[in-house]
Structure 1
Amino acid sequence: MLKNYFKIAFRNLWRHRVFSFINIMGLTVGMTACLLIFLYVRFELSYDTFHPKADRIYRMVTDLKTPSETIHPSGPAWAVGPHLQFDLPEVEAFTRVNYDNLLVRKGDIKFNETGTIWADSAFFSIFNFPLLKGDVRTALVQPFSIVLSETAAKKYFGKQDPMGQTLLVTGEGKPALVTGVMKDMPENTLIKSDVVMSITTITQKFWKGLDDEWGSYGALTYVLLKPGTYAQTLQKKLPAFLEKWNGKEMRSSQMFPTLLLEPLKDVYLKSTRDDSKGNMMNVYVFSIIALFILVIACINFINLTTARASERAKEVGIRKVAGAVRSQLARQFIGESVIICLIAFLLTLGFSSLLLSSFNQLAGKIISTGIFSNISLLFLLLGIALIIGLLAGIYPAFILSAFKPIMVLKGRFATGAKGSILRKSLVITQFAISTALIIGTIIVYSQMKFMRSRDLGFNKDQVLVVETNGDNKRETLQKLVANLPNVKSTTLSGSVPGGGHQGAYSQVENAKGDLQIANLDLYFVDFDYIPLYDIKMAAGRPFDRTYKTDSNNAMILNEAAVKILGYSSPAQAIGRRFKQWGHEGQIIGVIKDFNYHSLQSPIKPLTMRMEWDRFRLLSVKVNPTNVQTTITAIEKLFRTTIPNRPFSYYFMDEFFDRQYRSEERFGRLFLNFAALAIFISCLGLLGLASYSTMQRTREIGIRKVMGASVSNIINLLSKEFLKLVIISFFIAAPVAWYFMNKWLLDFAYRTSISWWIFAAAGTLAVLIALLTISLQAFKAAIANPVKSLRTE
């Protein structure tokens, strides 16, 4: 009996090859897209969950309240970590993590290791970054201890054993002892680096007393709680902890920190701090898209399966007359449906394996090395495929098998209104989803275009930035580069737009004449910075070499800083007093606000001052002609002037635009999966149009004999489906507006959702549907009516 079921099933598939192909391919494409999205979502949700102690690890962050604002630095004061275990028995261990760029050398091998981590000795005990060589307890205890990843160890030592050998670090060439080799950190962690150095190098050698600094912020602090300890218990004790160690300084500086605990597993997607790289909204969006694609594929499969069910009514009648019982017929139809779904599942595995590498590139990260590395997801998808097969098989199994054989064999069988209503409802559902995705795609790309075209308030074109790492020969290099023929101008600075900034405890005279305390962003710049980046002045003047006091006693504010000081116009701030980091003086100018962060962040209050020992970046404005020749000349001067450092440069426009890479990847992924959803919908519509045309063959033949034109026939066959598509648009438009408006709220500067977006999406949906239907309609319209009526 089972063999007979399979034989009938495959015979039926082959007899209706076109329908079978559409059914299987639609479901395959849907499940393939769904599997890839599930892999992506699962990867995003897996960040830092692989640590065995992850449930007990928390990141400690700070809300810093000043008289002007509340600031949200990523980490607490440097002194918090070392003092935790004195008063708080809930804390088992702590580690600070501070990121830096570090020059590392071994002979002629030299690299500027971006993202180097400085960490406390408990780093490898708290986090699961296994050491292949070395002791986790002692590897980071002594100053100038360095732990390398496998990749970094091979880079500097080749096949030699690096343990106990030395590397030269920083521009001064300080010897660092290799005390460990760790496995390369996985992709799904925010704490990622190839070089980890002991933080005692900073606190005992470079900046003694830093462990007792309560006013210096920057290093991330992670705490490991003891087993059975609740984070809320520790949280309640933190205000008293701060009052004990820092109360007097808080009141004198008028800066009041609040310590907060973030679960490690939540940091990547849910933290609002600057170093959080993920986006929970994007995870939700892709999860919904995966669900939508799967729903569309299911709708197609169920629609086509139920639409073809009426063709098998006579088969049901004959088999009932031959003695088949209803349960046997039900098993036959369900079995056929499940077989088709299993075929689609096997094809999904093959397609997913082939596409995974391309999908990794599209996502910008290695989300999976192979689909079989996520067996649980495959079993989930298999379960979904079986459920789809069961759902699609229920209609023919329990509806057709219930018909009386005498009525069916006499030709009195009709599909009835219920089946038609079901199919129309499903078509409306899938095209509502497709239209919503079209609207979403247009909005995503409108936002990307808006971000690209918005005036940032500064000029980033044709600016080359060279990393000098503050080398003491940087001014000599600047003078030599400035004399090159294709160089227009140069400037030294501590920061460039989009490249980070200092946060500085500041006292600036406000509109009431008081020195207002605030933690303001700070750029260290020289005389030529403002003109080179074409930043516009709102009042006053830029730094000027003819004023000797500008080098030490002058400050420039942006318009956002002027507002928080209570001035009604930028001109009112000129000549007012300031105190900042041991410097005092007057405000000499106010620049117009410019976006020194990405457009996801609002423009914050910014100050600019000159401190020559803070300069590390050389910006070079170059002519657009012979750019490569100019770069070669600059490199030659760099290697001659600063021979101990690697030559590293980037173009300012490319560097600033990197901030939008995640949004661009999101846009590309959204577009690709929206296109797949539309493709699957069109497959289903094509199948239904083919079936509808076949069912109305006699009607079409009669109409043609009665004088109907080709356009009349096409209109007849198309208008029914186009009505459904139009209905789906009115369902999709408000839903798409609601969700995309929520997505846009993540951007401080965003495009508006205009009416034309909906008009374009609706028109596109209608055109796609019309093109899909018209092929079948045209074939039916030009068919010879004699052939259609010959058998009647």
Structure 2
Amino acid sequence: MFRTYIKIAWRNLVKNKIYSGINIFGLAIGLTAGFLILQYVNFERSYDTFHSNKNFIYRVVADLETPTGVMNLNNPSFAVPPHLEEEFSEVISAVRFMRVNLLVRRNDVKLTENDAAVADKAFFEVFDFDLLQGDKKTVLTAPYSVVLTQETANKYFGNESAIGKTIKIKDEDINDLNFTVTGIMAEIPENSHIKANMILSMTTYTEGIMPRVNDAWGLYDPSAYILLNPNTDPRELEAKLPAFLERNTGEMMRNDKLFVSLFLEPLSDVYLRSDRGAEYNGDLVTTYVFSIIAIFILLIACINFINLTTARSVERAKEVGVRKVIGAEKRHLSLQFVGESIIISLIAFVIAVGLTILITPVFNELAGKNISDGIFSNPTNILYLFVMAITIGGLAGIYPAFVLSSFKPVHVLKGSFSTGSRGTILRKCLVVTQFTISITLIIGTIIIYYQMNFMRNQELGFNKEHTVMLPVTPSPTQKALKNSIHDISGVISATLTSSAPGIPNSTAYSIIENRNQEDQVISIDAYFVDHDFISQFGLQVVAGRAFSRKFVTDSSEGMVINEKAAKLLGFTSPEGALGVKFSQWGKEGKIIGVVKDFHFRSLQDNIQPLTMTIMPDRTDVLAIKISGQSIEKTLSSIQSTWETILPNDSFDYYFLDEAFDRQYRSQEQFGSLFLNFAILAILISCLGLLGLAAYSILQRRREIGIRKVLGASVAEVVKLLSSDFLKLVIIAFFIASPIAWFIMDIWLSDFAYRISVQWWMFLISGICALIIALGTVSFHAIKASLANPVKSLQTE
């Protein structure tokens, strides 16, 4: 019996090649797209889940409350982690992790490492990063020890064993010191929010460079993680933290009027769910949106199958009637038709596997990360896709099986069978559902495009064009390098700074006089610059003045702030902040100027308060404004000057506009993926509409022949055949519009600066859907209207 079912199914597939092809191809595309999207969602949800202690690791974060507001930080002070480990038996280990940029040298190899970090000795015990060589308990114990990834070790040591050998490292705090390689680790997995290619021991700082940093309660820099005893309730421990802070910093908080609160975030929440962010973090809304898209695409593919199968039910009515007369039971017929559905799904599954193999590299590129090494990299991937195909085939075949197996043989064999209005209504509802989804995706694509375009063209408040950024270690040679580069033909200006828009900046523990003439303690974003920074970046001074060499005290006592900082201090106008006293990192003086707010972070974030002071020992970037002419020649001259003055340092540069735009890379990748999957969804919908239109026109061929004999023109016939489908698209448009508005409003809520959703965006989407539907249906409609009516009527 089973062999008979397969034969019948195969004959039906071959007999109806066009419909079978549309069904199989549409389902294969749906399976491929759905599988890839679910891979993406699962990958995003898998961040930090590979650690065996994942359920007991928590990130420590802090709120800093000042008289004028609360700052939500993603890290506590330097002193918090070691004291937590010391004072609470619930804490097994505490680890600080701090990103740093380093200049690394060994023999003739000299490179700038932007993915380096510093970590406490328990790093490899708390986290399950694979240590290939070395003892995880001791590799980060001694000062001036370093662990390299295998790839990094190969850069400096080639095929030699790196263990026990030394490399020279320096940054703004380390002055060209020898570090011993104590361990080699595997590359940190892609799905980790903690990333580094080399890790220095924290004892380098706590026992060497900054010996009192373990008691620095006011210095906020490293991320902090604690491993709790499995029997510990994190909420109970969190409740003890106010008393912990009071014991250690109570008097300091009251004197400084800065009150700290500590909280514990589960490791699994850091990447996707934390509102405090991390250097590498995802977007929970994005994963939800893609999950919905995956469901939509699979739903569209199922709808295609149901529509085409039920539409063709009349053609198989006599087959069902004959089989019932000779003894076939309803359950046998149902099994037959569900089986056919599953066979189609299995064929689509094989095609989907092939498509997935071809598309995965492109998908990884669009996603901006290695989501998958291929469908065969994990055997469960094949199983997931297979189960998905069988499930869709089974579910999609249930309704057609029920309809076909319910035909009454008496009516069928008399030729009086009709599918009735219920089947027609169902098909129309399914087409409306398909195009509701498609129009929703079209609207979403348009809104995403305009939001990204808005961010690209938004007035930023500073000039970032043709600015070359050169990382440089703070040293007495900085000024000579800057002056020499400034004299190069093609260089317009140059300035030394600790940061620039689009580049992570420091925060500084500061005491600034507020509107009530009280000392206000704040941890505030800070730029450390030279005299030329404000003019080079085109910042607008709205009160007071910029730094000037005419005023000798500017370099030792001057501070410039932005408008947001003035408001944070309670001043209603920028002028009110002029002359107020400040103390920041050992420097005391007065505010000499206020600049207009500018976007030094992404447009997803509100502009934050910012201070600028002249501090040469903190400037580690040389920003060079160059002419747009002969860029390559100018860069070559800059490199020659660099190698003359700093022969032992690596020459690495990047353009500021690229660094600033990199902030939007994840959103652009989201937009690209959304657009591509929207196109796939529309393509699948059109395939279904194409097959349904072809069948509908086939059923009405005699009606078309009669109308043409009676004088109907080609245009009138095309209008008649197209109007029913276009009405369904219009209904879908009115359903999709509020749904799309609701979903995209949630997505736009992540942006501090966003577009307003306009009515014409919906109108464009509706017109696009109508054009797509008309183009899909009109091919068969025109073909039918041009056919010879004699051929349609000759059987009557």
Q: Aligned-pair distance for 1:589?
A: 1.1
Q: Aligned-pair distance for 1:332?
A: 1.5
Is the contact made by 1:302 and 1:391 (CA closer than 8 Å) also made in structure 2? no
| SS of equivalent residue, structure 1 residue 504 | strand
Answer yes or no: is 1:615 the counterpart of 2:604.
no
Answer yes or no: is 1:88 the counterpart of 2:91.
no
1:179–1:156 CA distance, 2 compared to 1 (3 A):
same
Partner residue, 2:684: 680
- Give the Cα–Cα distance (whole angstroms) in 2 for the partners of residues 329 and 694 of structure 1: 26
Partner residue, 2:48: 48
Partner residue, 1:518: 522
Partner residue, 2:136: 136
Answer yes or no: is 1:181 the counterpart of 2:158.
no
| SS of equivalent residue, structure 1 residue 270 | coil
Residue pairs, 1:535-574, within 5 angstroms: 535-574=539-578
Runs of 4+ in 1 over 4 A off after TM superposition: none
| TM-score between the two structures when normalised by the length of structure 2 | 0.98
Is the contact made by 2:470 and 2:621 (CA closer than 8 Å) also made in structure 1? yes
Q: Aligned-pair distance for 1:303?
A: 0.8
Q: Aligned-pair distance for 1:145?
A: 0.7
Q: Aligned-pair distance for 1:315?
A: 1.2
| Larger mean Cα displacement after TM superposition, 519-528 or 689-698 | 519-528
Is the contact made by 1:120 and 1:140 (CA closer than 8 Å) also made in structure 2? yes
Answer yes or no: is 1:663 the counterpart of 2:672.
no
- Give the Cα–Cα distance (whole angstroms) in 2 for the partners of residues 445 and 753 of structure 1: 12
Answer yes or no: is 1:208 the counterpart of 2:211.
yes
Answer yes or no: is 1:116 the counterpart of 2:116.
yes
Is the contact made by 1:468 and 1:617 (CA closer than 8 Å) also made in structure 2? yes
- Give the Cα–Cα distance (whole angstroms) in 1 for the partners of residues 393 and 494 of structure 2: 68
| SS of equivalent residue, structure 2 residue 509 | strand
Partner residue, 1:504: 508
- Give the Cα–Cα distance (whole angstroms) in 2 for the partners of residues 291 and 27 of structure 1: 13
- Give the Cα–Cα distance (whole angstroms) in 2 for the partners of residues 633 and 477 of structure 1: 12
Q: Aligned-pair distance for 1:577?
A: 2.3
Q: Aligned-pair distance for 1:666?
A: 0.4
Residue pairs, 1:254-293, within 5 angstroms: 254-275=257-278, 276-293=280-297
Q: Aligned-pair distance for 1:377?
A: 4.6
Is the contact made by 1:577 and 1:584 (CA closer than 8 Å) also made in structure 2? yes
Is the contact made by 1:467 and 1:648 (CA closer than 8 Å) also made in structure 2? yes
Is the contact made by 1:102 and 1:170 (CA closer than 8 Å) also made in structure 2? yes
Partner residue, 2:458: 454
Amino acid at match of 1:135: D
- Give the Cα–Cα distance (whole angstroms) in 2 for the partners of residues 692 and 594 of structure 1: 60
Partner residue, 1:341: 345
Partner residue, 1:358: 362
- Give the Cα–Cα distance (whole angstroms) in 1 for the partners of residues 271 and 435 of structure 2: 35
Please list the CA deviations of residues 373-419 of structure 1 after superposition, one character each: whole Å capped at 9, or x if unmatched: 34445434333322332233333433332323232122100010110
- Give the Cα–Cα distance (whole angstroms) in 2 for the partners of residues 397 and 759 of structure 1: 39
Partner residue, 1:217: 220
Is the contact made by 1:69 and 1:518 (CA closer than 8 Å) also made in structure 2? no
| SS of equivalent residue, structure 2 residue 651 | coil
Partner residue, 1:241: 244
Partner residue, 1:421: 425
Amino acid at match of 2:18: V
- Give the Cα–Cα distance (whole angstroms) in 1 for the partners of residues 401 and 757 of structure 2: 47
Please list the CA deviations of residues 494-546 of structure 1 after superposition, one character each: whole Å capped at 9, or x if unmatched: 11111122212223233333333322211111111111111111111111111
Partner residue, 2:436: 432
Partner residue, 1:228: 231
- Give the Cα–Cα distance (whole angstroms) in 2 for the partners of residues 14 and 404 of structure 1: 27
Please list the CA deviations of residues 596-648 of structure 1 after superposition, one character each: whole Å capped at 9, or x if unmatched: 00001101111111111111111111111100000000001111111111001
Q: 2:741 aligns with which of 737, 740, 750?
A: 737
Is the contact made by 1:66 and 1:519 (CA closer than 8 Å) also made in structure 2? no
Q: 2:318 aligns with which of 295, 314, 321?
A: 314
| Larger mean Cα displacement after TM superposition, 604-613 or 574-583 | 574-583
Q: Aligned-pair distance for 1:17?
A: 0.3
- Give the Cα–Cα distance (whole angstroms) in 2 for the partners of residues 394 and 43 of structure 1: 32
Please list the CA deviations of residues 279-311 of structure 1 after superposition, one character each: whole Å capped at 9, or x if unmatched: 101000100100111111111111111111111
Q: Aligned-pair distance for 1:322?
A: 3.2
- Give the Cα–Cα distance (whole angstroms) in 2 for the partners of residues 123 and 294 of structure 1: 43
| SS of equivalent residue, structure 2 residue 263 | strand
Q: Aligned-pair distance for 1:684?
A: 0.5
Please list the CA deviations of residues 452-501 of structure 1 after superposition, one character each: whole Å capped at 9, or x if unmatched: 00000001001111111223311111111010111111111111111122
Partner residue, 1:371: 375
Amino acid at match of 2:156: Y
- Give the Cα–Cα distance (whole angstroms) in 2 for the partners of residues 627 and 96 of structure 1: 42
| SS of equivalent residue, structure 1 residue 245 | helix
Please list the CA deviations of residues 551-609 of structure 1 after superposition, one character each: whole Å capped at 9, or x if unmatched: 11111111111112222221222222222222222221110000000001101111111
Answer yes or no: is 1:728 the counterpart of 2:768.
no
- Give the Cα–Cα distance (whole angstroms) in 2 for the partners of residues 779 and 250 of structure 1: 82
Q: Aligned-pair distance for 1:434?
A: 0.5
1:218–1:569 CA distance, 2 compared to 1 (3 A):
same
Partner residue, 2:790: 786
Please list the CA deviations of residues 642-687 of structure 1 after superposition, one character each: whole Å capped at 9, or x if unmatched: 1111001111111110000000000000000011001100111101
Q: Aligned-pair distance for 1:163?
A: 1.1
Residue pairs, 1:99-178, within 5 angstroms: 99-170=99-170, 172-178=175-181
| SS of equivalent residue, structure 2 residue 97 | strand
Partner residue, 1:28: 28
- Give the Cα–Cα distance (whole angstroms) in 2 for the partners of residues 655 and 309 of structure 1: 59
Partner residue, 2:200: 197
- Give the Cα–Cα distance (whole angstroms) in 2 for the partners of residues 392 and 665 of structure 1: 33
Amino acid at match of 2:300: I
- Give the Cα–Cα distance (whole angstroms) in 2 for the partners of residues 221 and 732 of structure 1: 45
Partner residue, 1:638: 642
Is the contact made by 1:92 and 1:223 (CA closer than 8 Å) also made in structure 2? yes
Is the contact made by 1:68 and 1:517 (CA closer than 8 Å) also made in structure 2? no
- Give the Cα–Cα distance (whole angstroms) in 1 for the partners of residues 388 and 555 of structure 2: 69
Is the contact made by 1:498 and 1:656 (CA closer than 8 Å) also made in structure 2? yes
- Give the Cα–Cα distance (whole angstroms) in 2 for the partners of residues 597 and 706 of structure 1: 71
Give structure 2 stretches of 5+ with no counterpart.
Answer: none
- Give the Cα–Cα distance (whole angstroms) in 1 for the partners of residues 336 and 637 of structure 2: 78
Is the contact made by 1:73 and 1:218 (CA closer than 8 Å) also made in structure 2? no
- Give the Cα–Cα distance (whole angstroms) in 2 for the partners of residues 350 and 230 of structure 1: 49
- Give the Cα–Cα distance (whole angstroms) in 1 for the partners of residues 146 and 506 of structure 2: 26
Report sequence identity in percent: 52
Q: Aligned-pair distance for 1:314?
A: 1.1
Q: Aligned-pair distance for 1:129?
A: 1.0
Answer yes or no: is 1:62 the counterpart of 2:62.
yes
Answer yes or no: is 1:252 the counterpart of 2:255.
yes
Is the contact made by 1:457 and 1:595 (CA closer than 8 Å) also made in structure 2? yes
Partner residue, 1:12: 12
Q: Aligned-pair distance for 1:74?
A: 1.8
| SS of equivalent residue, structure 1 residue 52 | coil
Give structure 1 stretches of 5+ with no counterpart.
Answer: none
1:83–1:509 CA distance, 2 compared to 1 (3 A):
closer
Is the contact made by 1:306 and 1:392 (CA closer than 8 Å) also made in structure 2? no
Amino acid at match of 2:88: L
- Give the Cα–Cα distance (whole angstroms) in 1 for the partners of residues 544 and 726 of structure 2: 64
Is the contact made by 1:74 and 1:218 (CA closer than 8 Å) also made in structure 2? no
Is the contact made by 1:471 and 1:642 (CA closer than 8 Å) also made in structure 2? no
Q: 1:587 aligns with which of 585, 591, 601?
A: 591
Amino acid at match of 1:70: V
- Give the Cα–Cα distance (whole angstroms) in 1 for the partners of residues 614 and 70 of structure 2: 26
Q: Aligned-pair distance for 1:278?
A: 0.5
- Give the Cα–Cα distance (whole angstroms) in 2 for the partners of residues 263 and 389 of structure 1: 40
- Give the Cα–Cα distance (whole angstroms) in 2 for the partners of residues 85 and 566 of structure 1: 39
Answer yes or no: is 1:395 the counterpart of 2:399.
yes
- Give the Cα–Cα distance (whole angstroms) in 1 for the partners of residues 316 and 121 of structure 2: 74
Q: Aligned-pair distance for 1:115?
A: 2.2
